[in-house]
Amino acid sequence: MEANEQQVLVIGLPETGKTSFIQALDEVLKHPATQQALRADGLAHDRSYIQSGKSVFLAGEIPGRTERPLEDTAVELWFQHPPTGRRGRLYLPDEKGEVFRDQWVNRRWEQDYHKSLVDIAGALVFVRADEKSRNDERLGILAAQVVTSNIERPWEMKEASAQVQLVDVLQFIVEHGGPPRPLRVAVIISAWDTVGHAGDLRPRDPMKFLEREWALLAQYLRANPEYYTSKIYGVSAYGGKPGALGALAALPPHERAQLVEGTATSSDLTRPLRWLLALD
């Protein structure tokens, strides 16, 4: 990479909203709100991953499941910051995010992915607001099923709670990947439009939400200041529920996207990137 170019790593287990965020960010970068805003900087070598789901995203429809190809392909989105001339790349090691689950399950990583970690300026870490951070057996649901069944189902590593897997992935990256310390981490809580409905008692501040709903991950980041400095964002890439956007469907995709930081809401999905690259 060039001297003024920095790379942002995208981290997330399968189906955590990475694809929708990248689609929305692609649109926001094409339509910068001001002269100082981040904007698209040419085209990556391979945009097939983005273009394959673009029509579905633009229509506000329910995205299809991201299938894992026979050969995983890294995904990149290029951007620039005109006032400083700095350029960056959003980098997802494989299309589906299985590389992170493989890292947890198999305790190893691909050489190219390992080498890339030295160059990252920060990381976007994805979790979902509408999924549990822990396993149901902790709530006694699966335990009750075992009592009534004579069939013993073997436990698999990939069934560990999402936040246990994420903490392990992050720990491997900072201890064995060689990124700068402390590593800037922007936690993206996707599907944020599912928070705050009538009867929903979960905090509407993303930081407080993470502390309550993803306590292990929040505590790990907070307890290791020598390894991480972090910010928490709530994001709705579609602005609402895909396939049921209602009046939102009439808005351009770069306007209907929502990002929440503390009590502030905007459609500027580049804010986490600017913070990661120390542009704010």
Token output for 146? 């075992």
Percentage of the chain surpassing pLDDT 70?
86
What are the structural domain ranges in the chain?
5-276
Residue 277: exposure state from Cβ atoms within 10 A (0-12, 13-18, ≥19): buried
Can you give the pLDDT at residue 65? Answer: 60
Closest CA to 160 of 105, 92, 88: 105
- Whether the CB-CB separation of 190 and 16 falls below 8 Å is answered with yes
Distance CA 130, CA 234 (A): 12
d(CA 12, CA 112): 18
Q: What is the Cα–Cα distance from 56 to 169, expressed in whole angstroms? A: 31
Asked if 105 and 170 count as a contact pair (C-beta separation under 8 A), the reply is: no
Q: Is the pLDDT score of 163 beyond 60?
A: yes
Residue 86 has pLDDT above 90, yes or no: yes
pLDDT(72) > 70: no
Residue 71: pLDDT over 80:
no
The fourth-level CATH superfamily of domain 5-276 is: P-loop containing nucleotide triphosphate hydrolases (3.40.50.300)
Mean pLDDT of 118-128: 96
User: For position 147, what pLDDT does the model report?
Assistant: 55
For residue range 193-216, what is the model confidence (pLDDT) as tens digits?
Answer: 999 998 899 999 999 999 999 999
Burial of 64 (0-12, 13-18, 19+ CB in 10 A): exposed
- Which residue has better confidence, 234 or 93? 234
Q: Tell me: the pLDDT tens digits for 2-16? A: 667 899 999 999 899
Going through 93-130 in order, the beta strands assigned E by DSSP cover: 120-128
86-90, 113-117, 150-154, 257-261: range with lowest mean pLDDT:
150-154
Residue 69: the pLDDT is 46
Is the pLDDT at 149 greater than 50? The verdict is yes
Whether the pLDDT of residue 140 is over 90: the answer is no
User: What integer best gives the mean pLDDT of the chain?
Assistant: 88
Among 34-38, 115-119, 128-132, 181-185, top mean pLDDT goes to 181-185
Three-point CA angle 195, 199, 201, nearest 5° = 60
